[in-house]
Amino acid sequence: MISQDLLGWLTLLLIFLGVLIISKKYPKTRNFLFIALFTRSLCVILDQYFLSLPDSTGDAIVFEHRAAFYSQEYGLNIFSIFLKQDSYFISKFISIFYTILDRSPMMAKMLSVGFGTVAVFLIYNLSFIIWGSKAALRAGWIAALFPSFILYSSIILREVYVIFFLTYALIGCVNYIDKSKLIYFMKALFGFLIASLFHGPIIFGFFIFTIFICLKILKQNNYFIRFKKKNLYLLIIIPIILLPIITYFLGFYSIPKLGNFKNFGNLSIKQEEGNKLVSFQERIIWKIKKATKSSGAQTSGASYPQWTIPNNLIELVYLTPVRILYFLYSPFPWDIKRLVHFIGLLDAILYIYLSYCFIRNLKTLVDEPKTRFLILIFLVFVFIYSFGVGNFGTGIRHRLKFIGILIVIAAQKIPRLKLF
């Protein structure tokens, strides 16, 4: 039987060989890819042998223990429940390696390192498609050195997997917008589907993509007021493209964490409470109240201020922009209650800086269809997640899912340093 730590080191060796192959094919990526691999693997080694990284307990331990349980209970029969809607797709995925090889928490962490390092390359690739080589190199370096990205690429949590598959999907999206080839549409669909298995609401990205494509078709054909007969087939294609959205709103299937449209938000509400929450508005407010909590006491924890919790529809409307700002940029200086919160403040400052670079380039971004789509999908994700997050500890994790998009749309205005 191979020792647990040896499996982790062997996994690192395989990742190193994979990065070496990528860097041979794309020589300009060599420096930042190996820096990305070094920083992430170093964090795993520190966590494994010397100290506990932030967020390496709690959910990370739960996911690892659940992976061991799945391996013992199901073995390779895990595929019989692989697509079951729950929060443990990452555990099912890791359990496959546990079944074939052996249980090894270090190997599971190194899997995160592998996905995180290749995600850096995908962010570079997406930036290259949009901006070309110079901005793409800056994006690659920012992704490689972004502190929270390094951290969550070193522990057993879902964020790095979501970044990987979401960025893969977005590469398919922008290529389809530019070239309209079916293969790119299928790649986008695949990426969104896998990302949504790790975290259900990501599927809304595919909804936005299909709406964007349909609007593009309508605009190109003068909204079918006057169009050529050879394009009549597009009248059939548009409803087919929109079919996933239509069936969701008709209640034919559910999205993990959200349910279907008829019982939107009811999945996490106890039955006796759910019976009292009749309206959509009541369910949203209930979820916001539930989310606005902290692992510590109110005076020393990370929860958003109580005044950010709406009590009715009017408050929900005017507090939504506030919650979006808190989701993206908290903790603010007045939210600092403990020394550890300064780590979150550093993370928030980096998001503020990237947002500044993005806003500086807004006119160019809006004029280009590919970047206009990236802005749209980024704003929709931020809007959706702002309802389900109520403390900046959780917020740091959830906003990281979209760091790839933010880096790409900010990349052209990130100042050039010698490092880049």
pLDDT digits (tens, 9 = 90+) for 125-152: 999 999 999 999 999 999 999 999 999 9
pLDDT over 50 at 400, yes or no: yes
| pLDDT averaged over every residue in the chain | 87
Percent of the chain with pLDDT over 90: 62
Number of continuous H segments (helices) and E segments (strands) in the chain: 20, 0
Across 173-188, average pLDDT: 93
| Residue 232: both structure tokens together | 């009549």
Determine the 3-state secondary structure of 198 from DSSP: helix
Euclidean distance between CA atoms 12 and 113, whole angstroms: 8
Residue scoring higher pLDDT (223 or 124): 124
Across 36-44, average pLDDT: 97
Residue 346 — pLDDT band, cuts 50, 70, 90?
very high
Q: Is residue 93 part of a domain?
A: yes
Q: Is residue 386 part of a domain?
A: no
Tell me the backbone φ, ψ of residue 107, rounded to 5 degrees: -65, -40
Across 364-374, average pLDDT: 94
Lowest mean pLDDT among 28-42, 50-64, 125-139: 50-64
Q: Is residue 79 part of a domain?
A: yes
B/e letters for 12-29, b = 16+ CB within 10 Å, e = fewer, are: beebbebbeeebeeeeeb
Determine the 3-state secondary structure of 30 from DSSP: helix
List, for residues 156-173, the tens digit of each pLDDT value.
999 999 999 999 999 999
pTM: 0.91
Residue scoring higher pLDDT (270 or 238): 238
Tell me the backbone φ, ψ of residue 259, rounded to 5 degrees: 80, -165
Across 238-267, average pLDDT: 68
Q: Which residues span the domain enclosing 12? A: 1-157
Euclidean distance between CA atoms 391 and 74, whole angstroms: 36
Query: What pLDDT, on the 0 to 100 scale, is given for residue 28?
Result: 94
Across 37-59, average pLDDT: 93
List, for residues 272-281, the tens digit of each pLDDT value.
454 555 566 7
List, for residues 325-337, the tens digit of each pLDDT value.
999 999 988 888 8
Q: Work out how many domains the chain is built from and give that number.
A: 1
CA distances from 114 to 36, 110, 168 (A): 10, 6, 15
pLDDT over 60 at 271, yes or no: no
CA distances from 375 to 205, 309, 350, 382 (A): 12, 27, 18, 11
Residue 240 — pLDDT band, cuts 50, 70, 90?
confident
Alpha helices in 199-279 (DSSP H): 204-220, 234-241, 243-249, 271-274
| Residue 197: both structure tokens together | 């298995």
Query: What pLDDT, on the 0 to 100 scale, is given for residue 165?
Result: 98
Q: Is residue 389 part of a domain?
A: no
Residue 215 — pLDDT band, cuts 50, 70, 90?
confident
| Residue 2: both structure tokens together | 């191979």
Q: Is residue 250 part of a domain?
A: no
Q: Is residue 138 part of a domain?
A: yes
Q: Is residue 134 part of a domain?
A: yes
| Residue 384: both structure tokens together | 């959706």
CA angle (341, 382, 294) in 5-degree steps: 35
Alpha helices in 180-312 (DSSP H): 182-198, 204-220, 234-241, 243-249, 271-274, 280-291
Across 278-294, average pLDDT: 72
| Residue 396: both structure tokens together | 């740091």
Euclidean distance between CA atoms 398 and 193, whole angstroms: 18
Query: What pLDDT, on the 0 to 100 scale, is given for residue 223?
Result: 63
Determine the 3-state secondary structure of 391 from DSSP: strand
Length of the chain in terms of residues written: 420
pLDDT over 60 at 52, yes or no: yes
If you ran DSSP here, which 8-state letter would residue 153 be given? T
Q: Is residue 141 part of a domain?
A: yes
If you ran DSSP here, which 8-state letter would residue 29 be given? G
